[in-house]
Amino acid sequence: MASEEGGLGRASTGALNEADLMSLEQYARSREAFRASVIAHKRARTVAVGPNMTWVFEDRLTIQYQVQEMLRIERIFEPRGIREELDSYNPLIPDGSNWKATMMIEYPDPQERGVALAGLRGVEDQCYVAVAGFGRVRAIADEDLVRENEQKTSAVHWLRFELTPAMREAIRHGSAITAGTDHPAYRHETQLPAESALALGRDLS
């Protein structure tokens, strides 16, 4: 199992394996500090796209945290169970040519949220990122499972953005990045702050 630092400071890409994880006992001792570190790490990776949508760009550390939490909640300690969790979560780690994000649609009022989700069917397919000087890159959404039905979309979606080598090179040289959606019921775009662009640039090879 990993040291109690839980892999902080390691590469942001690459699959996790059992040796990268803390045992349940180690995690119980380290959870408070580890959680605080992950929350701080996620700040630069969290982007508001309009008033009711948040994207969290995942990396190896954010996914490790999710795996550790699932193991803790489910009290999983046997190798087979740990491997099943890793197999479920590893596809959510970027692999050097892409970004992977959790997209959350957020309306505090339940009634308003229900109406909004009904009107936002298909929004996950209308999300994009754009690097200055290049065209938009559309999201490849929800490869794990279908997250909408005939009545409404889900409040949570997984997005993958595949970037060309030229785009990745431009990002490493400081090109501006925007994120947005052009769904008819929700048209918003934001330029990523410099801190976020630097963090996401480290995900690319």
pLDDT per residue as tens digits for the range 29-41: 999 999 999 999 9
Give the model's pLDDT for residue 3. 41
Q: Are 12 and 19 in contact (CB under 8 A)?
A: no
- Tell whether the model's pLDDT for residue 188 goes beyond 90: yes
pTM of the full structure: 0.89
List the structure tokens of 29. 């001792």
- Tell whether the model's pLDDT for residue 9 goes beyond 60: no
Cα separation, 106 vs 202, in Å, equals 28
- Tell whether the model's pLDDT for residue 144 goes beyond 70: no
Q: What's the whole-number mean pLDDT along residues 61-83?
A: 96
Give the model's pLDDT for residue 55. 98
Instruction: Please name every residue paired with 98 in a beta bridge, in sequence order, or none if there are none.
Output: 162
Give the model's pLDDT for residue 143. 77
- Tell whether the model's pLDDT for residue 2 goes beyond 80: no
Confidence of residue 12 (pLDDT cuts 50, 70, 90): confident
Chain mean pLDDT for the chain: 92
Sheet containing 177-183: give its strands across: 136-138, 127-131, 177-183, 186-191
What percent of the chain shows pLDDT beyond 70? 91
∠ Cα 97 100 105 (to 5°): 155
Confidence of residue 149 (pLDDT cuts 50, 70, 90): low
Q: Which of 192, 161, 162, 189 is nearest to 175 (CA)?
A: 192
